[in-house]
Structure 1
Amino acid sequence: MTSRKKSRQKSWQKSCKNLLILAAAWSATRTLMLWLLAQDGRTPLGVGGVAREVHELYARWYGVLATGTFPTGDRLWQYPPGAGPVLLSPGLLPGLTFFQAFVTLTLATDLLVTVVLTRAGTRPGRSLRGAALWTAALPLLLHIPLARYDVQVTAFAVISLLTLSRSTRACGAFAALGALVKVWPALTLIGTPRGRTTKEAWTSAAVTGGVLLLTLAALFRDPFDFLHQQSGRGVQIESLGGTALSFAHHAGWPGDVGYRYGAMEFTGPYVSSVAALSLALTVAAFGALLLWRLRARHWTPATPYDAAFGAVLLFTVTSRVISPQYLVWLIGLAAVCLTSRHTTQRPVALLVAGAAAVSALAYPVLYDDVVACTWTGTLLMLVRNGLLVTAAGLSFHRLWTASTRPTASRPEGTEPPYHVHHLPHERVSAVNTS
């Protein structure tokens, strides 16, 4: 046997071993998550109620949607029309309760994301680190991912990004589908290379989104009622502004915490000012991303991934609401970044994983402390949000630096620049535009 054949055999054996380890880890961690879901509300899982959203809220919405209308006038319904089909999907599994069907479909979607990341990671010049991160980091949120539909939304974003190198139209279509379910997947298109790639992806997204929106508007009544409810959101206690108000509470601020719009929010003096500041920071983040896109000159195969991750991080930390399930989005996008050896986001991915672990402590384990604004709860949120702010700043800095610097020499054996390898119909000079 030649040395080359021996090398290939060893490489194949190593790949098989890694895939077996990954499969075993996924099975073990998801079994643990299911067990935790069955223990919801018991010591030491804190306040519990994680599964209540599916049992009560999602199930109630399912009943309304099944009549052909969106939940009109429901202050808790704050989602785009695409969320309707997702919440109706448990009806595809007869013989199961709504809760059982929802968890089954969520787990199946989780497996799909793992398979997609694994397949991407086994391609030449790619890495299985992305699949490993998704497998290992999602359980840091305990059983929350199984009782929210954010795994399904994240699947659209992950598939959108990973199909970009093969079909720009498919990339745009999946981004549009995700955006119609929960808006933020539209940001997956922020880093598409300029020129024909961007035109095709964004056009596909617009057409797909428009057709689906018209279809849902024809099939259901009141598809845009969610806009009235979304505009009334305040400052959630787990947001960055909420952390500031929690510290202000210790300094004598007379505000209070109450249940509004499906979340625990602060009420009292200056809350509206904090909410306005959050909105201003979101606008500033959007401006920074536009400036990056105008200044960017160098695209690698990982740039679309890194840009999407950085954009969602920026919009997350400036939001008035940072629920723990938002970390599902960030873990998914971080995993996509890690499938490419060109990514600049490895340290950012570690920060997000750390934030996920702290988020699980904040909710559900020590949520009573967070709501009561005790020093334990306040400091816990400071750590979690501090990690996210650091991650967002570092992510944007590394994206900016990598995209605006002169082209670096490519290490031997790695992927060639994005346009050259994946889109041969575009000129090589498109990689470095001036």
Structure 2
Amino acid sequence: MYRAMTPQRITPLPAGHRLSPRPGLRAADDYDILQSRDTVALAAVWAITRAGMLALLVVDRLGDSGVAGEVHTLYRGWFEQLVHGTFPLNDVTWQYPPGAALVLLSPAALPWLTYFQAFVVIVLVADATITRALARAGLPGAWLWVCALPLLLNLPLARYDVPVTAVAVLGLLALARRPGLGGALAGLGAMIKVWPVLTLLGTPRGRTTRAAWGSAAATAVALLAVLVLCFSHTLGFLRQQSARGVQIESLGGTALQLARAVGWSGEARYQYGAFEFAGPYVSSVARLSLALTAAAFCWLLLWRVKARRWNPATPFDAAFTAVLLFTVTSRVISPQYLIWLLGLAAVCLTARTTVQRPAALLMVPAAAVSALAYPLHYDDVIAGTPLGCALMLVRNGLLLVAAFLACRGLWRATV
């Protein structure tokens, strides 16, 4: 038989007493307040640091480099040719995929500004876009990006690598929920500067991989077809790219710098838009760098075949590892390459399960030493003085250690 429910007497609250919100609701409110404060602090730090970077760019008196000159002269010269429907022809400094034209032509969208002013505005917009995307994904990554990028001084504002990094970061963050969009952005980035295609290396097997790679291929092919139809000499960059030598800032260049200190007869020359080594054994060092790049590619393929365990951070970790490997083994490690690595390192730090935290944090001192080498002491690097050799040895040593830690962490976490 059912027992009748006994009515419970409700004791009235004392006068003036109010109900307190549930602890869970209070905790959620406190978390939202903290998030809001962190976001405001992040925005303030971004504004202050970017104002400082902009001031350094306007003054442009760091070292003897003339960082802004690349936009004033080189980019503007390419822009003048591109607006007439032709890619640079017989220009040894044009070594970029045809999609780079999209970035170089973008200042035309702001006709009331000079080319230089419009270009810097576009870079700052791309920087702010990266910051916002990282802040939504995870504040630790956003803080790394906001605080580490200024270590490169005014360089990021005078190169088109920040917009490329924005495309890669947005694509990588979109892969989990919208693999088609992530793949399309990776394909677009690859047409601008090749390396963003590596962000697809860690996509989970199955539908996600098929959707991402298919979308990337379709986007790249479609964009290439449009550029071929609209411009002449679209693929001329391949000839200049294949002629590159060993840049003085690369890992091979560091070895040649040290060899020069003990009697090697080579010298640094300005050619193909950069200072490269010329002399005995340079071609052998260049071939060794290409062989190391091929070996890195084989290792990445091996990892892809053997990997069995995926977590939300695996695509981020794999992308960072891949770009870091290709950077370290490159014949050219320009200081702006650190912009790519800082962006991908920041994406890794947005995920709690990342295994790349040690390698990602090494990008911070690597960026600082890169700025010491260029633009502050670039004359020492060119001349191969003890200071110049030490700066390159430390910077490239940090990248080499980071590459080892990244590979080891990725392998142990997934294979």
Interval of TM-score (by shorter of Structure 1 and Structure 2): over 0.9
**Whole-angstrom CA distance in 2 between matches of 1:318 and 1:47:** 28
Cross-structure match for 1:176: 187
Matched letter for residue 67 of structure 2: V
Runs of 4+ in 1 over 2 A off after TM superposition: none
Q: 2:52 aligns with which of 32, 41, 58?
A: 32
- Which residue is 1:16 aligned to? 36
Per-residue CA shift, 1:215-265, capped at 9, x if unaligned?
A: 110000010000000000000000000000000001100001100111000
SS of structure 1 residue aligned to 2:269: strand
Determine the structure 1 residue equivalent to 2:199.
Answer: 188
Mapped partners of 2:111, 2:81: distance in 1: 18
Residue of structure 1 in register with 2:408 after alignment: 397
Match of 2:122 among 105, 110, 117: 105
AA of the residue aligned to 1:165: A
Structure 1 position 130 matched with structure 2 position 141: yes
> Residue in 2 aligned with 1:260?
271
Post-superposition shift, 1:48?
2.8
Equivalence for 1:332: 343
Larger Rg: 2
Identity %: 61
Work out the number of aligned pairs and report it.
395
Q: Distance in 2 between matches of 1:394 and 1:47?
A: 35
Match of 1:83 in 2: 100
**1:51 paired residue among 50, 58, 68:** 68
**SS at 2:332 equivalent:** coil
Q: Determine the structure 2 residue equivalent to 1:5.
A: 25
Match of 2:225 among 214, 230, 238: 214
Matching residue's letter, 1:83 = A
Partner of 2:158: 147
> What is the alpha-carbon distance in structure 2 between the residues aligned to residue 177 and residue 263 of structure 1?
26
The one of 171, 178, 182 aligned to 1:160: 171
Please tell me the residue identity of whatever aligns with 1:19: T
Instruction: Tell me the secondary structure at the aligned position of residue 235 of structure 1.
Output: coil
Amino acid aligned to 2:73: E
Task: Kindly state the Cα deviation for residue 138 of structure 1 after the two structures are TM-superposed.
Answer: 0.4
| Structure-to-structure mapping, 1:402-417, within 5 angstroms | 402-404=413-415
Amino acid in structure 2 at the alignment position of 1:25: V
What are the superposed Cα offsets for residues 103-137 of structure 1, whole Å, 9 maximum, x if unpaired?
A: 0110111001111111122xxxxxx1011111001
Report the Cα distance in structure 1 between the residues aligned to 2:254 and 2:268, rounded to whole angstroms: 12
In 2: Cα distance, 1:342 partner to 1:71 partner? 45
How far, CA to CA, are the matches of 2:301 and 2:102 in structure 1? Answer: 32
Return the alpha-carbon distance in structure 2 between the equivalents of residues 156 and 102 of structure 1. Answer: 16
Task: State yes or no: 1:364 paired with 2:375.
Answer: yes
State the secondary structure of the residue aligned to 1:327.
helix
CA RMSD of aligned residues (A): 0.6
Q: For residues 174-221 of structure 1, give each alpha carbon's deviation from its aligned partner in whole angstroms, at most 9, with x where no partner exists.
A: 000000000000100000011111111101111111111001100000
Runs (5+) with no aligned partner, structure 1:
122-127, 405-434
Residue 259 of structure 2 is aligned to residue 242 of structure 1: no
Asked if 1:232 corresponds to 2:252, the answer is no
Structural mapping, 1:52-67, within 5 Å: 52-67=69-84
Task: Give yes or no for contact 2:65–2:378 (8 Å, CA) kept in 1.
Answer: no
Tell me the distance in 1 between the aligned counterparts of 2:156 and 2:295. 30
Structure 1 counterpart of 2:88, one-letter code: P
Deviation at 1:166? Answer: 1.4
